């Protein structure tokens, strides 16, 4: 892979790449649509991700090319940058914008990206390209940002430059991820713990619905807004900053303050999901995967019925999983509206599960899903020769 990418860089730019960087994608085990509500999430970095090869140029421009996309861009060094069109290169341009805004001196770079995360599959290909770029610029130009500062900056790229009001989970997971660990992250305080993925005789399967995602951004921002409305209603009587500052028992005492039934549904999901993350972390620590699996299903059904971010494709995967004796638990992962589901599957039964889910899904949806057995990998880093 690396040699091949070196060759591709050489043929694109007629010179060798000097540095290579990598940032993973992520899956979220549990705690969905929680990060922007100041609660707990449990993501882990995966081994699929984005590679970035660079060499300096003396032309004072950033050249962006990708193995995955035909579209290229050449953007001169300038005091600030704006999003232009819908091109993929806006993500790295956004990163450059905030380095420049922070007064960092940059120089022209020729860049080639390659990603093996399926695009738009809710495995955080966008956080991956943002963070790989930020990691590279930080090292190449001795910018001196801490990892946490890079996380906060790349979140700004998503929120302010790209216009998606997402939380901090994706950028955090792909920056701080550790091999074979899940991150139990408090999205309010940003305290986190890397916990062992005690999967025993099981593997983590990723099932990509291959559904072309549409309207994800507008629906996502709508959910964020609904949560803000719920919070405002509760703040009439409660001194809280985030929906996840209360548990279900307290919520039951105050939920009458939320008058809109849809907003009430959204808040009910958020608060119960946050409680589930606490239980899931305990179950994982105690090696009680049966309990963990039950919580995964409960999370999915809440996202399906209360938060309404699933869809027939994701539901079909989880519906099948519940009938397969090799599966301990399954749920959608990430923003939803298509993208991927995850399942905890007995190692010995993985092939049978992959075959079963593919047949069931194809018969119902009309095209096949892609099924992977996932490895939990490291966060963003430079790849040395």
Q: Which chain residues interact with ligand GLA by CB under 6 A?
A: 28, 32-33, 35-36, 166-167, 169-170, 334-335
Least separation in angstroms between CB 26 and ligand GLA: 8
Query: Do residues 31 and 39 touch, judged by C-beta distance below 8 A?
Result: yes
170 catalytic residue (yes or no)? yes
The CA distance from 64 to 76, in Å, is 11
Query: Do residues 285 and 258 touch, judged by C-beta distance below 8 A?
Result: no
Name the residue nearer to ligand GLA (CB basis): 32 or 110.
32
Least separation in angstroms between CB 237 and ligand GLA: 27
Strand 40-41 to 43-56 pairing: unpaired
Query: Residue 233: phi, psi to the nearest 5?
Result: -65, -45
Strand 181-186 to 327-332 pairing: unpaired
Least separation in angstroms between CB 104 and ligand GLA: 25
Estimate to the nearest angstrom the gap between the alpha carbon of 366 and the chain centroid.
27
* Residue in the shown chain whose Cβ atom is closest to ligand GLA: 166
The one catalytic residue among 35, 110, 170, 245: 170
C-alpha dihedral, 31 to 341 to 210 to 92, nearest 10°: 40
Least separation in angstroms between CB 335 and ligand GLA: 4
C-alpha dihedral, 277 to 279 to 285 to 288, nearest 10°: -120
CA distances from 333 to 12, 52, 250, 260, 299 (A): 36, 26, 27, 27, 10
Treating both helix axes as pointing N-terminal to C-terminal, what angle do 261-285 and 216-234 enclose, rounded to 10 degrees?
90
Least separation in angstroms between CB 127 and ligand GLA: 7
Report the sign of the C-alpha dihedral through residues 332, 42, 351, 348, in that order. Answer: negative
Provide the annotated active-site residues: 170
């Amino acid at each position: 892979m690396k040699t091949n990418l070196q060759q591709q860089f050489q043929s694109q730019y007629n010179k060798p790449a000097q540095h290579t960087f990598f940032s993973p994608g992520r899956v979220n085990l549990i705690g969905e649509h929680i990060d922007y509500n100041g609660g707990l999430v449990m993501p882990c970095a995966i081994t699929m991700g984005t590679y970035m090869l660079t060499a300096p140029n003396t032309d004072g421009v950033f050249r962006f090319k990708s193995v995955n996309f035909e579209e290229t861009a050449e953007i001169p060094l300038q005091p600030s940058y704006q999003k232009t069109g819908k091109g993929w290169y806006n993500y790295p341009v956004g990163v450059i914008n905030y380095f420049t805004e922070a007064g960092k001196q940059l120089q022209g770079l020729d860049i080639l990206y390659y990603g093996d995360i399926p695009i738009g599959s809710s495995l955080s290909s966008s956080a991956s390209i943002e963070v790989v770029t930020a990691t590279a610029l930080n090292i190449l130009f001795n910018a001196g940002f801490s990892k946490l500062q890079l996380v906060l900056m790349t979140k700004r790229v998503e929120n302010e430059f790209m216009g998606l009001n997402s939380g901090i989970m994706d950028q955090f997971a792909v920056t701080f991820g550790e091999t074979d660990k899940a991150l139990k992250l408090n999205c309010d305080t940003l305290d986190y713990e890397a916990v062992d993925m005690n999967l025993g005789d099981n593997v983590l399967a990723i099932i990509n619905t291959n559904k072309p995602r549409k309207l994800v951004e507008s629906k996502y921002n709508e959910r964020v807004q609904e949560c803000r409305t719920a919070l405002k209603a509760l703040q009439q009587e409660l001194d809280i900053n985030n929906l996840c500052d209360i548990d279900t028992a307290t919520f039951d005492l105050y939920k009458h303050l939320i008058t809109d039934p849809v907003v009430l549904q959204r808040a009910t999901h958020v608060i119960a999901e946050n409680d589930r993350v606490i239980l899931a972390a305990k179950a994982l620590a105690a090696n009680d995967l049966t309990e963990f699996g039950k919580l995964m299903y409960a999370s999915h059904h809440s996202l399906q019925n209360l938060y309404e971010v699933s869809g027939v494709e994701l539901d079909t995967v989880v519906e099948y999983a519940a009938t397969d004796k090799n599966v301990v638990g399954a749920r959608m992962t990430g923003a939803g509206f298509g993208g991927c589901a995850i399942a905890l599957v007995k190692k010995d039964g993985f092939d049978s599960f992959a075959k079963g889910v593919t047949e069931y899904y194809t018969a119902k949806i009309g095209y096949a899903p892609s099924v992977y057995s996932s490895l939990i990998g490291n966060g963003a880093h430079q790849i040395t020769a």
